Structure formats: structure tokens, C-alpha cells
């Protein structure tokens, strides 16, 4: 009985190690949030590419009523570029602080943009 328990325990440990190894190889996961980060923030094992050059797009209305949200790289199993866009401001005095990828140890963590 003790031998079968030891075999079961060893097999469980091997499966757990395999699952953890596969999760690490996928290149992303969730991360415990540090101050200023969102709970369940996305982390990636590789740096995002440099942003592509984009021609400025005119605002759809008066600039005091809209804010430009610049494009950014998003991780979807690979790097995918999300184009910038104009969105209505919640109030005339709010400013959009863009999201960014921040290096934390060997990973890159996405910090979402927000209104201030």
C-alpha cells in the first residue's frame, strides 16, 4: 500500500511538473499584481517588438472632446498590433495615460491605460 501511494505521488509530481513546464513554454500566463498593476495581468516571456510607424489620423471632432489612444502590442499567443484610435473623453479635462509593457524580472507585464 505504501509502495502504491509512493508511485501515485511520484506520478502526480511528474504530471504536475509537465503541466507547469508546458505553461511556461506557452509564453504567457497570469501574475500576482504588484501595486499599480491589474489583478490577473498578462505576462509574456519575450519583449514586444518596436511599434510600427503610423500616419496620424485626424480627430473625428474637436480635440477637446476626444483623446487619441495610441496603438500597442497585445499578446494573443503571438504579438498582434492593435491600431490607435480616437475615443470621446469622459470630461474635457481628463487625460489618457497609455498602457505599456513593463519588464519585471524575466517577464513583461501589461499595465493597462487609464483616464486621469
Please tell me the predicted confidence (pLDDT) of residue 54: 84
Q: What predicted TM-score, i.e. pTM, was given to this entire model?
A: 0.63
- Using H for helix, E for strand and C for coil, what is the string for 52-114? CCCCCCCCCCCCCCEEEECCEEEECCCEEEECCEEEECCCCCCCEECCEEEEECCEEEEECCE
Between CA 88 and CA 109 the distance in angstroms is 27
DSSP-derived 3-state class of residue 43? strand
Spans of the chain below 70 pLDDT = 1-41
Residue 53 main-chain phi, psi, to 5 deg: -75, 135
Distances (CA, A) of 103 to 47, 49, 69, 100: 8, 13, 22, 10
Q: pLDDT tens digits, residue range 51-62?
A: 999 887 899 999
Amino acid at each position: 500500500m505504501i509502495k502504491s501511494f509512493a508511485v501515485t505521488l511520484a506520478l502526480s509530481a511528474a504530471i504536475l511538473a509537465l503541466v507547469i513546464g508546458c505553461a511556461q513554454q506557452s509564453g504567457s500566463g497570469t501574475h500576482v499584481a504588484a501595486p499599480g498593476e491589474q489583478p490577473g495581468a498578462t505576462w509574456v516571456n519575450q519583449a514586444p517588438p518596436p511599434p510600427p510607424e503610423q500616419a496620424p489620423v485626424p480627430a473625428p471632432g474637436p480635440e477637446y472632446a476626444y483623446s487619441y489612444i495610441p496603438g500597442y502590442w497585445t499578446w494573443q499567443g503571438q504579438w498582434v498590433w492593435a491600431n490607435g484610435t480616437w475615443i470621446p473623453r469622459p470630461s474635457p479635462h481628463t487625460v489618457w495615460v497609455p498602457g505599456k509593457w513593463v519588464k519585471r524580472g524575466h517577464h513583461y507585464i501589461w499595465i493597462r491605460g487609464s483616464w486621469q
